[in-house]
Structure 1
Amino acid sequence: MTRSTGLEVTGTDSMGMAAATHALPAQLEAALAAAVDVVGPAGSDPITNVVAMGMGGSGVAGDITSALAAPHMRVPVTVVKGYECPAFVGPQTLAIAVSFSGNTEETLEAATAAHDAGASIVAVTSGGQLAELARHWGAPLYEVDSSIPMPRAAVGAISVAPLVALERAGLLSGIAGWVGATVAQLRSRQDSTDTEVDSLDEFVSAIGNGEMLPVFYGGGALGVVAAGRAKAQINENVKIPAYASAMPELCHNELAGWDQAGRLIDGSPLAVIALRHDFEHPQIRRRYDFTRRILDGARVAVPYAELRAAGEGAMAQLFDLIYQVDVLSLRIAAAAQRDPGPVPLLTELKTYLAGHPARHP
């Protein structure tokens, strides 16, 4: 039995995912301390756009960077999750490449193209080919603790460096304060004996037993990132489908689909978990209220619950939600009697792709 967040996470955990989740505050602090000695980025051209590149558990760093930094910056942030480098990338681009392993083929290809286009590169990785390229290019290299068991468990380690790089480039300020407030909130969450996730015990059981699948709703930039993180954590830790949707967009389409939700014989096959924070637009808050009415009034009522963020500032609230959904995924994995660490299917995919190298026209 592993203690995590003031919650008990039981079951097989061969890679120590619960311990890594519990270490998130320390991970953030270590990442900030490690970034102190990294020099750069340095370029002769003014930065007019930022591109954050990454996939999967590493790619979430780009989502986090965009959600937290874009509201404060005078230049746009584009998140790239794929092989292609945008055509606008050039000497006035700051390209931040994030790959925990350093060997993610999509990120390596996109980062190489960005470098060839004249962009200033920043690398965030624990090693591998990306670290080698960064050294060869003379690019700033933010090294991530390689002892963290999986990329998705390194969310704190990979998310601080891009923010620090933006601060070094003169595009942001106050990152140490952001991280400090985030660490304080996470430790407060861990010390609590009565947590938000405790209220979802029925959801944990039903999802773990295969009776329902979760749909995560997030509003605004912070909520959308948290919902995407929740979906991915359920996919990889529990090995089941999960879904994520964004407010207010879902009110223009998906909401109509709930009016006839479920089958009378089986009840609702889906459950909605809303991820709430204090930075929501007032109209998004009203949309949640309306959506709840629709779910309750459907032909078969759709189970609904909320996890709410706390903390001072956007980074603290985003990571508070990330932490809670990570714990939720571990509890569901335990209920489903699944080891949250290894993902054999993804290893099989990488082996398959390695035998079929990409060929471009």
Structure 2
Amino acid sequence: MLDIATLQKFDTHKMYTVYDDWPAIARKSFDSDQKSINFGDISQIVFAGMGGSGAIGDMFASILSKTKIHVNVVKGYLLPQTVDSDTLVVVVSVSGNTTETLSVLKSAHKLKSKIIAFSSGGKIQEYCMENKIEHRIIPSHHSPRASFTSFLYTILKVLNSTLGIKKTDILESITELEKLGKKINSSNLNEENPAINLAEWIDGIPIIYYPFGLQSAAIRFKNSLQENSKMHVMTEDVIEVCHNGIVAWENPSNVKPILIQGTDDYEKTKERWGILN
């Protein structure tokens, strides 16, 4: 069984200590003195970011997937042609120096869009200050991917009135994170740790199936495995895979299926889970 000495041998930068603190970081970030801002009437929201920062946009796309707010996530240099002055562009870069994200910020400014940027500083902060664009500094923790909860819950605090997300739902998510944190904490390196059990089970290439509304969980899981474990990972929508990808299971392979099921999945989606299982 895994112990701290072995963990530190492979995690030489002690990233696991930041993950241990994620629940506390989440609560501290949401309870911070960051001021909320309401952008009023907007036609759509575009989240721009790359890597761990881009996962923030994926998360908000999932959170808002069952609302009337149209969300685009840009991971690259170009904004959708539909972006105009009634669009809110949310720029996220933990480092503040991401080339692609800075390009999107400049394009949004030229289009006179409503803009707010979040970073730990860098060129994005400089550009926002020079052009009087709303910008919020969020301290980074170790790396962009390890800073996920600090950025997510700070943005939830700042944009809560704009997005209309219930505070009770946000606080409930932090409580659930605290419960999960106790189970997968580095102080619990035994057979009761679900993260260790899952890691031991994955001995091939993981393929993560997700339902509508939970794509962000699959993407974040994929990115974490790629960045931390240096392995190939695939993701697929469960409904789409039932039309074509499912036939690949007729042949033996070293692919490991991981199913991310939602508690409120559409009834037909639940039927598909039953078929796959």
Q: Using structure 2 for the length normalisation, give the TM-score.
A: 0.88
Equivalent position SS for 1:271? strand
Structure 1 position 159, deviation (Å) = 1.5
Q: In the TM superposition, what whole-angstrom CA distance separates every residue of 1:174-207 from its partner, at most 9, and x where no partner exists?
A: 23x2332122112212334734335436414xx2
Q: Does structure 1 residue 240 correspond to structure 2 residue 237?
A: no
Structure 1 position 9, deviation (Å) = 4.6
Amino acid corresponding to residue 24 of structure 1 in structure 2: W
Structure 1 position 65, deviation (Å) = 0.7
CA–CA distance in structure 1, aligned partners of residues 196 and 207 of structure 2:
18
Contact 2:36–2:158, Cα closer than 8 Å, also in 1:
no
Of residues 16, 37, 40, the one that matches 1:40 is 37
For structure 2, the residue ranges without an aligned partner over 5 or more in a row are: none
Q: In the TM superposition, what whole-angstrom CA distance separates every residue of 1:95-118 from its partner, at most 9, and x where no partner exists?
A: 000000011111100111011101
Amino acid corresponding to residue 213 of structure 2 in structure 1: A
Of residues 238, 247, 252, the one that matches 1:256 is 247
CA–CA distance in structure 2, aligned partners of residues 199 and 13 of structure 1:
18
In structure 2, relative to structure 1, the CA distance for the partners of 1:220 and 1:75 (3 Å cut) is closer
Equivalent position SS for 2:80? coil
Contact 1:16–1:149, Cα closer than 8 Å, also in 2:
no
CA–CA distance in structure 2, aligned partners of residues 85 and 230 of structure 1:
26
CA–CA distance in structure 2, aligned partners of residues 284 and 70 of structure 1:
16
Q: In the TM superposition, what whole-angstrom CA distance separates every residue of 1:125-169 from its partner, at most 9, and x where no partner exists?
A: 1110111122223233222213x1110111111222443343333
Contact 1:41–1:121, Cα closer than 8 Å, also in 2:
no
Partner residue, 1:124: 118
Amino acid corresponding to residue 146 of structure 2 in structure 1: A
In structure 2, relative to structure 1, the CA distance for the partners of 1:30 and 1:131 (3 Å cut) is farther
Equivalent position SS for 1:216? strand
CA–CA distance in structure 1, aligned partners of residues 237 and 17 of structure 2:
30
What is the 5 A alignment of 1:1-361? Answer: 1-2=3-4, 9=7, 11-34=9-32, 36-38=33-35, 40=37, 42=39, 46-72=41-67, 74-146=68-140, 148-169=141-162, 171-175=163-167, 177-192=168-183, 194-200=192-198, 202-204=200-202, 207=203, 212-222=204-214, 224-260=215-251, 262=252, 268-292=253-277
Q: Taking every aligned residue pair, what percent have the same amino acid on both sides?
A: 26
Contact 1:101–1:151, Cα closer than 8 Å, also in 2:
yes
In structure 2, relative to structure 1, the CA distance for the partners of 1:239 and 1:282 (3 Å cut) is same
For structure 1, the residue ranges without an aligned partner over 5 or more in a row are: 263-267, 293-361
CA–CA distance in structure 2, aligned partners of residues 12 and 201 of structure 1:
14
Equivalent position SS for 1:103? coil
Contact 1:17–1:153, Cα closer than 8 Å, also in 2:
yes
Contact 2:49–2:75, Cα closer than 8 Å, also in 1:
yes
Contact 1:217–1:273, Cα closer than 8 Å, also in 2:
yes
CA–CA distance in structure 2, aligned partners of residues 53 and 76 of structure 1:
14
CA–CA distance in structure 2, aligned partners of residues 243 and 129 of structure 1:
33
Q: In the TM superposition, what whole-angstrom CA distance separates every residue of 1:324-355 from its partner, at most 9, and x where no partner exists?
A: xxxxxxxxxxxxxxxxxxxxxxxxxxxxxxxx
Q: Using structure 1 for the length normalisation, give the TM-score.
A: 0.69
Equivalent position SS for 2:55? helix
Equivalent position SS for 1:63? helix
